Each structure stands twice: as C-alpha cells, then as structure tokens.
Structure 1
Amino acid sequence: MSEANFQIPGQTAFYKGKVRDVYTINDKLLVMAASDRISAFDVVLPRPIPYKGQVLNQVAAIMLNATKDIVPNWVKSVPLPNVTIGLKCETFPVEMVVRGNLTGHAWRTYKSGKRELCGVTMPEGLKENDFFPSPIITPTTKAHEGHDEDISREDIIGKGLVSKEEYEQLEKYTLALFARGRELAKQRGLILVDTKYEFGKIGDTIYVIDEIHTPDSSRYFYAEGYEEKQKNGEAQKQLSKEFVREWLMANGFQGKDGQQVPEMTDEFVSTVSERYIELFENITGQKFVKEDVSKAVAEQKIIETLKTL
C-alpha cells in the first residue's frame, strides 16, 4: 500500500507524513496507516517497497507491547497488518534520538573532527561502530516538512520547547526504553545500535507515540562477529535502513538541492523488501506472513473497530 485514501466517519483531520497517513477521528483518536513509501534524507523515494508498511506496523506493535510497563503508549488496537488505532496526544516538538554506538550521523560528525553532538561530548579514541561508554541522547527538532535539526538539551529547555521537568522525564523514559530494546535485541542475537522515540501527552500523562524499534527508526547490528569485525576494521553486518542511505550516497544523492534520486530498479526494490522482512523475522523471532488486504475490506475493518473504542 502506497496510498490509503480511507473514508472514515468522524474524521476531523488528515496528515500525510513521509511514510504514514494519519486520520484524526473526533479529535480523540488517530488511525495511522503505515504505507509502503520509503524515505531517506527526508525525501520520499519514487517507488514503494512491498510489505514495508506491514513490517513497520507489526514490529512497532510488538515492541510497544513489550515496553508498556516502562511508559504508557498510544496504542488502542491493531486491526490490520499495516494499521494502528490509538490515542491522539499533544506531541512534544522534539525527537529523542539515543545512540549506543558511534555510527551513522554521529560517526560522520566524529570523522569530521568534531567531538560534540547536540551538546554531548564524545570521547577521543573511538573507531566507527565502537560502543559509547554509556548511551548518549542527541535530540532533534521535529519537522513536519524538510529536515529535522540537531538541538541540545539546553536549547530545548532554554527555548521553552519542553519544560525542564518534562524533558528530564523524557530522558528517563528514553534510556529505559533503549535498555529494554537492547535486552530484546540481545535475545535475538542482535545489537540495538541507535533509535529514536517520540512522545506526547494527554493532561499530565506522557505517552510514547508513533513507532519504536523498527528498521525505519532504528539500526541493528548482528552480535555474532561484532568484536572480530571491530578488531579488523571491517564494516558491521547490520539490519537497518542505513544500506538504503549508503546506496543513495554511492549514487550521488544526499537530499541536497539539485540532486536527482537514482533509478530504483525492480531488483533493488525487491532487495529492500527482503531486508525489511529479514529484520522483522530476526528482531521478533516470528515468521513474516505477507498479508494483502483490499482497501474496501480495510476501511470496513477500521470503521468496525472504531465503534468498539
């Protein structure tokens, strides 16, 4: 599914994100459809990835259920493979990015000679993919369009984006969720390298919202062979969307003005789909079952489910 276009009674708003279509129902509930669209460098790529939406939605549902003892989450029902219905929260305008290893954006920053990221000092003497002494939080602003921007804890509080008390609670939740995510990954022979969390609130209650620990929001390494690869200076075998970014960069695209997205061949699209399914099976320990549901059937299921909530 690349476009849902559902017609839902009681709909009061609609938001089309990079990869999700979000329907607001009676200003109290959200119907979030995870599409097969894929984005990188904050650009939606021209071809959808089969079953990607199902993978994201089902991994998120499993992970949110496995962490609900740490922080309440927004989910009320998962009626379809790629649809979740949950509470509409007042969203905090920051994303809580947490990193356990020197990888991706953090490594690119480090390699450039800088030792500070989002106000956090990174120690000297690290190699790409090394573990940090302890996980670091490197938040970003939450942009509806365009690029998210790095921001420090001090600026978030100083600019009044989040109160000091609430931000400190977000930090606690972030580190606790990441620790649980690492435990779950370890059980599956994986390392949760980095991820991001989004939070919202209803009244005084903070909820974790959107998705967690999915291949779109997270990066995983295989634990087996990690130490040897680090010792030999070899690239880590990973399960994440990073290989899509690497493919784009290798073909001259980083989302900058004037750059063209390279052609996505059938073979490449199939490879990306297989990688998403591979992550689902590795991180959940469950066999992935491809499910195809017509728009009409999905729409009816959503309407029936909303009547029960």
Structure 2
Amino acid sequence: MKALTTTNFNFNKQRNVYHGKVRDVYDINNDLIVMVATDRISAFDVVLPKGIPFKGQVLNQIAAKFLDQTADICPNWKLATPDPMVTVGLKCEGFKVEMIIRSILTGSAWRAYKEGCRELCGVKLPDGMHENERFPEPIITPTTKADEGHDMNISKEEIISQNIVSAEDYAIIEDWTRKLFARGQEIASRQGLILVDTKYEFGKRDGKCYLIDEIHTPDSSRYFYAEGYEERLAKGEPQRQLSKEFVRQWLIEHNFMNEPGQTMPEITDEYAESVSNRYIELYEHITGESFDRTIEQGDIAARIEQNVNRYLAERTKE
C-alpha cells in the first residue's frame, strides 16, 4: 500500500508552497490555492514518521462533501476537486484562530477537567460532569493558530481585545461555527453517529469572510457511534469512536505525548494499514457511500500533477 508523504510540484503560475503538518498548500498567482491532502498524519503537534495509505483521499473527499453541504450557511473557499487528494479554491487571508466547538466533555477538555479545570477559554464548566457527558449546550473554545509548536487556548474576549479578529468579524464566524456544527450533527445523526467536537478555520478575501480549510474530517473532528452511547456513559465505559483520538491513545500507551525525553514508537506497516482502515471506516459511515480504493495508486504525485495542471489550464481558458 502506497502513501504520499512529500510533494514538490511546480504548477503553472505558482508563487510559493507552504508545507503544513498534513497539507501542502500551493499559491497560484496570489489568487488561488491548490491544497494537497497528503497521507501524513500528526498527533500531539508532531508528524508521525510513516504515512497512512488513502488518508489524504479520505480527508479531501469528506471535506469537499461537507463544504458543498454547508454552502447555504456561509461562503467557502472551494472551487473544485480535480484529484481525489486535492481541492482548489480561493486564496483567503486566514484568521489566526481556530474555532473549536464541543458538545461533549472528552479528549483534552476532559483531561483538563479531571485536573480541576472549571473554565475553558473563558467558558465556565459545570461541576460534577463525567467523561463523555454532554454539555448543556455546545461550547466554543478557540485556540490561537500557531505556525509552529502547540496551539494555545484563548478566550473570545482576548481574541477581540488583542485585535486578532475584530468584534464584527468574530460575531460572524461565531454564528457560522454554531450553524455549521448543528448541520454537521444533523448529517452525522442520519448515519448513526454523534459529531462530538470539531474545529473550523475562517479567513477574509476582498473584505468578505469565508470558511476555509477542511471541515468535519476525522483529523478535525471526533465522532461517537450513537448506538450504545447512553449505556456506555452510564457504565463509565469508553465510547466507540471514529476520530484520530485512537492514534493519540495508542501513542499515550506507548509513552509518547511529544514531551521532552520521549521517543516516538515504531509505526509498523501493519499498524499504518489498521489506521488506514479506520479512516476508510469513518468515510463510509459519515458519507453513507463506499470508499473507492481503485483510483490509480502507482505514481500518486504524477497523477495529481496531471489532474491539477489540466484543471488550471481549463480555468485559464474560461
């Protein structure tokens, strides 16, 4: 099984490229971006040493579907998906915050709560909650968007007072965050899933706010299976979930949380394949469609380059 972990394309009118943790973003004439979802996988703010076959395709195709299914809520950057691992869209100036919204106390929020935290990003948390219990209503817990290292929790008030996002723009993206999450929960519910939490990124272009990047993928979101949720919660048992959390838990079990002195455990081919299968499982559950494994995997980079160049050439003719 092949995985695409590095790219070095040179598309027509390309200005520059930004290599992120899992995505490589190519600037086309300071107007469009070609976002390549690689098969890299990250956890605890570090990229794991082995790629996950089909992961990029899973992320890109889920995000594309949800961008299309939420376009009536707010404008987004997507123009086309010329390759299963690529989205081409409008270049926007991204806000330096990620809008994280949570409906259930789990993951990093639970780890903080267990240590006594009762306020997260300026949001007061009720006493007496249990792991995987629903909040009275979804809470928004933004983080700063770090170019390197850890993203940091930040409150709405701090974002506005530090002029990271204006009060006017924050009101817009806060409203969109709640509406996008509600739509995502509705779609997940129809597939027997609970959209537990997720993050959104927004930006501006010509004075107008846009939803950018991916949405509702297993890298940016956490899903529980709805069946058995209440019973497991009552018994204090772990929830069956579809998200990247299982990778984090595997790393924790192997004594790695990217802290000083810790060594990354070996990622075997067998483990990489098992992670790939989990990503495909989420794709099929959340979309209700079968995943296409038959797309040409011989030379993935050559396939992408051909498909993107064809799209850019056709767009130039328009």
Q: Give the shorter-chain TM-score range.
A: over 0.9
Q: Please give the alpha-carbon distance, in whole angstroms, between the structure 2 residues aligned to 1:18 and 1:188.
A: 30
Partner of 2:278: 275
Under a length normalisation based on structure 1, what TM-score does the superposition of the two structures give? 0.98
2:73 matched to 1:67? no
The partner residue of 1:99 within 80, 99, 102 is: 102
Q: What secondary structure does 1:272 align onto?
A: helix
Query: Structure 2 matches for 1:99-248, cutoff 5 A?
Result: 99-248=102-251
**Comparing 202-211 and 43-52, the one that deviates more:** 202-211
Q: Does 1:308 align with 2:311?
A: no
Instruction: For residue 219 of structure 1, give the secondary structure of its aligned residue in structure 2.
Output: strand
One-letter amino acid of the counterpart of residue 304, structure 1: R
Work out the CA distance in 1 between the residues paired with 2:54 and 2:215.
18
2:296 alignment partner in structure 1: 292
* CA–CA separation in structure 1 for the residues paired with 2:123 and 2:251: 29
Contact 2:202 2:209 in 1 (8 A): yes
Paired position in structure 2 for 1:16: 19
After TM superposition, give the deviation of residue 257 of structure 1 in Å: 2.2
Alpha-carbon RMSD: 0.9
Which of 249, 253, 257 is the matching residue for 1:254? 257
Q: 1:74-126: CA deviations, max 9, x gaps?
A: 00110101011000001100000000000101101110011001111111121
Between the aligned partners of 1:44 and 1:116, the Cα distance in structure 2 is 30
Deviation at 1:168, TM superposition (A): 1.1
The TM-score, its normalising length taken from structure 2, stands at 0.96
- Structure 1: how far apart are the matches of 2:120 and 2:310? 47
Q: What is the CA deviation profile of residues 20-69 of structure 1, one whole-angstrom value per residue up to 9, with x for unaligned ones?
A: 11100000000010000000000000000000000000000001100000
Letter in 2 for 1:163: S
Asked if the contact 2:296–2:303 (Cα under 8 Å) also holds between the matched residues in 1, the reply is: no
| Count of matched residue positions in the alignment of Structure 1 and Structure 2 | 309
* Corresponding residue of 2:43: 40
User: Could you list the runs of 5+ residues in structure 2 that have no partner in the other structure?
Assistant: none
Letter paired with 1:15: Y
Partner SS state of residue 154, structure 2 = coil
String of CA shifts for 1:193-235, please: whole Å, max 9, x gaps: 0000000111221111110000000000000000111111111
> Do the aligned residues in 1 keep the contact of 2:141 with 2:154 (CA within 8 Å)?
yes
Report the 3-state secondary structure (helix = DSSP H, G, I; strand = E; otherwise coil) of the residue aligned with 1:9.
coil
In structure 2, what is the Cα distance between the partners aligned to 1:128 and 1:221? 13
**Letter of the 1:269 counterpart:** A
In structure 1, runs of 5+ residues without a counterpart are none
